[in-house]
Structures are given as C-alpha cells and as structure tokens.
C-alpha cells in the first residue's frame, strides 16, 4: 500500500475511534450526572480530573516518541516499551505518593478524599497502558485492532458504570471500576504485544543507563507537549485576569466549537507520524514526497472545515449554546482563520518529529507561545474574547514561514546529499573503467 493511502487508512481509523469514544465519554457523564446528582457528579469529575492530570504529567513525551521510534525498521520494540514503562514508574511513584497524601487538602468531604486516593491508581494504570497504546500506534497493521479493543473497553466501562450508578454506588466504586478497566486494557496490550512481536522481541527491563538515555530522548517531546498545553489554556487564564468572566465564557464556547473543527486534522496527524517516520528511515526523498502529498490533503481538509466556521459563526453559536453566546461570533471567526496556519504548522511539526528534529519544533512552538502571550496582553483589554482569538492567530502566523523554510531546507539538503552520493558513485565507476 502506498504511503499516502496508509496515512488515509490510519486517519480514518483514528477519526472513527475518536468520535466513538467521544460519544461514549459523553454518555458516561450523562449517566453518572443524572444518577448521582449535581454534587456527587462534581466529586466524580474532580477525582477523575486529578487522575487524568497524573497521567498527563507522567507522559514524559513518550506519547510521541514511541510512535516515532517504533515505526523505524531497526526499532527494538521490547526495549522501547520496557524503558517507557520504567521511566513513567520512576515519576509515578513519588507523584502518586504526593497526590495520595495531599487528598485531604484537595477536597474536604470523605467521599472525594477517598476517590482522589483511588484516582492515584487510575492515573498510574492509565499512564502504564498509554505506553502500550503509543507503541501500537507505530504499527499501521495493528492500529485498527488496537483502536477497536480500546473502544470496546470504553463501552464496557459505560455499561458497568450505568449498572453501578443505578444500584446506588458512590464515587469510589466508579473510580475503582475505571481502574479495573485500565488494568484490563493493560492485559489486552500484553496479549496483543505477544501476537504482534512474539518471542522475537520480548519486553525487556532496561538498565539505569538505558532508561536515562531514553528519558533524554523524550525530553524535547515532553517540552513540546507542555508548550502545547499552555498554549491551549493561556487564553481563558489571561482573559480571567484581563477581562470579565463573561468574556471567558464566550471564549470557552467558541473554543469548544473550534476543538470539533480539529478532529479530522488531529486524526490525520496521528496517522501520518508512524508512516512518515518509517519512510524517513527507509528513503528520505520518498518521505519528503509523501509529506508534500499529505500537506496538500491537509490544507484541503482544513479549508473545508474552516470556511464554514468563518461563514456561519454566529448562527452556529446560537444553535449550540443559545442567543447569549452569539457575541462570540467574531472570536469563532478568528479561530477559523487561525485554523489554517495552526494546522499546517502542526503538519510540519509532525514531519520534523519524523525527521528527528524535535528540538526545532520546541523552539518555534515556544516562540509562538511567547508571541501569543504578548499579543494577548495588548488585545484582551480592548477586545476580550476576540482579542484572545486574534492573538492565537498571530502566534501561529508568526512561525508559519520559519517552519516552512525549515522543512524546505531539510528537503534541499537531502537532495544535495543524494546528488553528491550519485556524483561520487559515477566518479568511482569512471575511474574503474579508465583503469
């Protein structure tokens, strides 16, 4: 199968999985919210949010490193997986202990305290399974199977949670059930790993030096993820300080609509990274050609999504959130405008990840964040939520050309290297024929 076709197949699988699991997550919140009531539902949200926070903090960049390195033809998957598990465990033990001890300070009621303490196990098991999920995303042939298994376990959690909630179970049993589901997913991951790699590449316990080397390789990805998280949250945080709560609400509504617009491009990124990484390891010129085709498809999809958002921003917000949120139409329009540079920048970052240039990605992502913060400080007091959206567009537009130039330079250097190799080969052949 051609590389672009593989990207399309993987993107479709990720998009379908994201939509299905998003619907399941919404149904889960609906079931628990209606059965537990507002107060206990809030406690459940608090406990699961702290658990997910622990999982995110313990990521350490392996969510991107494993799909990138695992796709290479010379990858040692058992060593990668063992090293990622050991690295996360080193961080999870002290962080989990702190979270367990701090539970009485985070919440006041006994039910929430118990739920947060159980959330330590939920966050740890989520981080452990994340290593399996990330590694399997490097194997295009196994991605649909793994996504189906993950979706099935999410559906099982929904069904079991519905039974527990209707039987009168509280927050702790529901958090414990989520932990059991994560453990079951780890078991599924072990079975699938044995089927995919078998005895030829068993999971290996790394040495201290190997673990330290793997963490060093993952640090740029962790830094890039940290910058991306700050970039996504700096808008509402600065609005809360520089504008009114109403502007925060308007921006949040527009941002939720913008998140939906990123579903398709996000699925394309997930599908592209392992394919581009594998191609770059085999044939760098072919990797550049594949990226060129991928980028054109990405631009077409982004325009198809962004143009309607710009054209019908006001009616869309009124339809989804009500008339009071129609004031957010200018903010949503600017988010639609920002979508094109943001998505194309992300596509170039994916290629640079595949090419092993993650430090460049961190540098320009940090620059975009700094520019966004400076623009927000100037525009938010004047334009509120619209100023926050314009600042996001300015930050992404500012790094559009540097990232494009970096990718083009990489392509030109590869062409020059290939031409030099061909020239030397022809010269050697000419000398042999003369001699």
> Any idea which residue has 């992404």 for tokens?
396
What gap in Å lies between CA 227 and CA 367, rounded to an integer?
10
Question: Which pLDDT does position 323 carry in this prediction?
Answer: 81
Alpha-carbon distance values, 45 to 113, 233, 303, 316 (Å) = 13, 19, 35, 28
Exposure on the CB side of residue 162, measured as CA atoms within 13 A: 13
DSSP 198: G
Across the range 335-360, mean pLDDT stands at 90
Whether the predicted pLDDT of 134 surpasses 80: yes
Least confident stretch, 213-227, 381-395, 416-430: 416-430
What is the enclosing helix (H) or strand (E) of 428?
helix 400-434
Across the range 57-64, mean pLDDT stands at 88
Whether the predicted pLDDT of 389 surpasses 80: yes
27: tokens are 């149904």
Alpha-carbon distance values, 255 to 22, 232, 251, 304 (Å) = 17, 9, 6, 18
Across the range 156-164, mean pLDDT stands at 92
Whether the predicted pLDDT of 395 surpasses 90: yes
Whether the predicted pLDDT of 416 surpasses 50: no
Across the range 241-269, mean pLDDT stands at 81
The most confident of the ranges 9-23, 92-106, 267-281, 300-314 is 92-106
Q: Would you say 287 and 279 are in contact if contact means Cβ atoms under 8 Å apart?
A: yes
Q: Where are the beta strands (DSSP E) in 109-156?
A: none
pLDDT tens profile 225-249 = 888 888 877 888 788 788 877 788 7
Whether the predicted pLDDT of 375 surpasses 90: yes
Q: Which residues of 403-419 are buried (b: 16+ CB within 10 A; e: fewer)?
A: beebbeebbeebeeeee
Across the range 404-409, mean pLDDT stands at 89
Q: Would you say 109 and 319 are in contact if contact means Cβ atoms under 8 Å apart?
A: no
Residue 413 pLDDT grade (very low, low, confident, very high; cuts 50, 70, 90): low
Spell out the domain ranges in the chain: 3-206, 225-422
Question: Which pLDDT does position 376 carry in this prediction?
Answer: 92
pLDDT tens profile 164-221 = 988 888 888 999 999 999 999 999 999 999 998 877 788 888 888 888 888 888 899 8
Residue 83 pLDDT grade (very low, low, confident, very high; cuts 50, 70, 90): very high
What gap in Å lies between CA 260 and CA 242, rounded to an integer?
27
Does the pTM of the predicted model rise above 0.95?
A: no
Residue 87 pLDDT grade (very low, low, confident, very high; cuts 50, 70, 90): very high
Question: Which pLDDT does position 414 carry in this prediction?
Answer: 58
Whether the predicted pLDDT of 336 surpasses 60: yes
Least confident stretch, 6-15, 59-68, 365-374, 411-420: 411-420
Region for residue 243 given its phi and psi (left: phi exceeds 0; alpha: psi -120 to 50; beta: otherwise): beta
Alpha-carbon distance values, 134 to 146, 165, 420 (Å) = 10, 32, 37
Instruction: Please give the mean pLDDT across all residues of the chain.
Output: 85
Listed in sequence order, the residues at least 6 apart from 27 whose beta carbon sits closer than 8 Å to its beta carbon are 158
Whether the predicted pLDDT of 408 surpasses 50: yes
Alpha-carbon distance values, 256 to 232, 320, 361 (Å) = 11, 10, 26
Whether the predicted pLDDT of 51 surpasses 50: yes
What gap in Å lies between CA 379 and CA 373, rounded to an integer?
10
Question: Which pLDDT does position 426 carry in this prediction?
Answer: 45
Least confident stretch, 51-65, 284-298, 308-322: 308-322
Alpha-carbon distance values, 413 to 88, 276, 407 (Å) = 37, 18, 10
Alpha-carbon distance values, 321 to 97, 155, 169, 239 (Å) = 41, 28, 32, 20
pLDDT tens profile 97-122 = 999 999 998 888 888 899 889 999 99
Helices (H), 243-357: 245-261, 263-282, 284-311, 313-321, 329-354
């Amino acid at each position: 199968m051609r590389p672009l076709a593989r990207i399309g197949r993987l993107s479709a699988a990720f998009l379908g999985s994201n939509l299905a699991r998003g619907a399941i997550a919404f149904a889960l919140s609906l079931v628990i919210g209606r059965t537990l009531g507002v107060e206990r539902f809030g406690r459940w949200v608090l406990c699961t949010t702290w658990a997910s926070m622990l999982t995110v903090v313990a990521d350490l960049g392996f969510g991107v490193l494993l799909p990138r390195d695992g796709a290479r033809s010379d990858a040692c998957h058992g060593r990668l997986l063992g090293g990622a598990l050991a690295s996360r465990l080193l961080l999870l033990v002290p962080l989990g202990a702190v979270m367990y001890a701090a539970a009485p300070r985070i919440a006041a009621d006994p039910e929430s305290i118990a739920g947060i303490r159980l959330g330590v196990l939920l966050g740890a098991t989520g981080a452990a399974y994340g290593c399996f999920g990330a590694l399997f995303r490097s194997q295009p042939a196994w991605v649909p199977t793994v996504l189906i298994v993950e979706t099935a376990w999410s559906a099982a959690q929904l069904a079991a949670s519905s039974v527990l909630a209707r039987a009168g179970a509280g927050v702790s049993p529901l958090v414990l059930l989520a932990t059991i589901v994560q453990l079951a997913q780890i078991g599924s991951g072990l079975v699938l790993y044995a089927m995919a790699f078998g005895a030829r590449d068993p999971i290996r316990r790394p040495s201290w030096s190997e673990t330290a080397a793997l963490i060093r390789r993952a640090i740029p990805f962790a830094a890039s993820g940290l910058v991306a998280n700050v970039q996504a949250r700096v808008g509402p945080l600065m609005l809360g300080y520089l504008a009114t709560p109403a502007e925060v609400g308007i921006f949040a509504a527009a941002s939720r609509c913008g998140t939906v617009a990123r579903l398709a491009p996000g699925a394309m990124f997930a599908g592209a990274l392992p394919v581009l990484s594998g191609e770059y390891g085999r044939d760098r010129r072919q990797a550049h050609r594949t990226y060129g085709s991928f980028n054109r498809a990405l631009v077409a999809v982004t325009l198809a999504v962004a143009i309607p958002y710009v054209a019908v921003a006001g009616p869309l917000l009124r339809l989804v959130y009500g008339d009071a949120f129609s004031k957010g139409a200018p903010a949503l329009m600017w988010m639609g405008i920002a979508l094109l540079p943001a998505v194309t920048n992300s596509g170039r970052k994916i290629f640079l990840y595949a090419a092993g240039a993650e430090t460049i990605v961190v540098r320009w992502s940090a620059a975009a964040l700094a520019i966004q913060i400076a623009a927000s400080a100037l525009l938010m007091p004047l334009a509120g939520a619209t100023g926050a959206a314009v600042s996001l567009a300015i930050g992404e537009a500012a790094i559009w050309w540097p990232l494009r130039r970096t990718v083009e330079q990489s392509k030109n250097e590869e062409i020059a290297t290939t031409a030099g190799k061909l020239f030397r080969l022809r010269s050697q052949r000419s000398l042999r024929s003369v001699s």
